[in-house]
Amino acid sequence: MRKVVVTGCPRANLGDVSKLAEFGVATVHEAIGRTGYLGPGIRPVHLGSRVGGTAVTVVCWPGDNLMIHAAVEQCRPGDMLVVTTTSPTSDGSFGELLATSLQYRGVVGLVTTGGVRDVAELHAMHFPVFSAAVSAQGTVKATAGAVNMPVSINGQRIAPGDAVLADDDGVVAVPRANVGDALSAASARAEKEEATRAALRAGQLGLDRYGLRAVLAQLGVEYVAYDSGRQGP
């Protein structure tokens, strides 16, 4: 790992990122070809928020949050801090004091593969956090890492400046260069979903709308009436 803080990273357009966030994580994830999802292990500590920002990425040593402090200085309004570690940890490397600094700088939220603490205070501050754990266990500030180098979470690459969207379904990352396309795709998908929703509300079956009866038949799925002799184990 290079020990480096990269400064002056370009960001995705904040207006586009905000619009994209409104579509929700699941819709965007679908719209961009099912990439960028950070997995079911990263969850909102409190349900009910939907937020998007541009990534400032951090790699820390487990049990150490030195590089988060270095990252704060690199943050601008509209950023989302994205923290990972060189090996798994649940330690609470982030709490309300760091959130205070981030709010001062206009940061919209935190995503971390580790733990957070002061979660009651963070909730009161309206600062959304998406993490793998909550832990009061503190960290030290003794080991180098990196800020604004690309990271991978759940097999998904996040570069500084990429769009990072989070809601009750988790977190999805969209490469900076693809935000425009993602916006179009998400918009198209939302429209299509709205039409589907209307049809389903009116009673149409997915079996018919998506042409799945043919798929079932081709796969050899049989329909058997319950009372047509013995039906199961």
- Range 92-121, binding its own copies (CB under 8 A): 92, 95-98, 100-101, 104, 115, 117-121
- Part of the chain binding its own copies (CB under 8 A), chosen from 12-20, 56-64, 180-188: 56-64
Is position 24 an interface residue for its own copies (rule: CB under 8 A)? yes
Shorter beta-carbon distance to its own copies: residue 5 or 13: 5
Is position 173 an interface residue for its own copies (rule: CB under 8 A)? no
Q: Which of residues 139-158 bind its own copies (CB under 8 A)?
A: 140-145, 148-153, 155-157
Is position 35 an interface residue for its own copies (rule: CB under 8 A)? yes
Among candidates 68, 69, 74, which has minimal Cα distance to 161? 74
Q: How far apart are CB 113 and its own copies at their closest, in Å?
A: 8
Q: Which of residues 122-141 bind its own copies (CB under 8 A)?
A: 123, 133-138, 140-141
Q: What are phi and psi of 170, to 5 degrees?
A: 120, -145
Helix, strand or coil, per DSSP, at residue 190: helix
Tokens at 87, concatenated = 């090996």
Those residues whose C-beta lies under 8 Å from the C-beta of residue 207, and which sit 6 or more positions away, are 213, 216
Q: Which of residues 187-216 bind its own copies (CB under 8 A)?
A: 193, 196-197, 200-203, 205-207, 210, 212, 215-216
Q: How far apart are CB 8 and its own copies at their closest, in Å?
A: 5
Alpha-carbon distances, residue 75 vs 27, 64, 157, 179 (angstroms): 27, 19, 20, 20
> Using CB under 8 A, which of 168, 180, 189, 190 touches its own copies?
168
Does residue 89 contact residue 68 with C-beta atoms inside 8 Å?
no
148: left (phi over 0), alpha (psi -120 to 50) or beta: left
Q: How far apart are CB 115 and its own copies at their closest, in Å?
A: 6
Q: How far apart are CB 183 and its own copies at their closest, in Å?
A: 18
d(CA 217, CA 154): 36
Is position 26 an interface residue for its own copies (rule: CB under 8 A)? yes
Q: Which of residues 60-79 bind its own copies (CB under 8 A)?
A: 61-64, 66, 69-70, 72-73
Shorter beta-carbon distance to its own copies: residue 79 or 167: 167
d(CA 210, CA 203): 14
- Part of the chain binding its own copies (CB under 8 A), chosen from 14-22, 159-167, 183-191: 159-167
Q: How far apart are CB 126 and its own copies at their closest, in Å?
A: 15
Does residue 108 contact residue 130 with C-beta atoms inside 8 Å?
no
Among candidates 80, 42, 53, which has minimal Cα distance to 169? 42
Among candidates 160, 37, 45, which has minimal Cα distance to 92? 45
Among candidates 87, 141, 145, which has minimal Cα distance to 114? 87
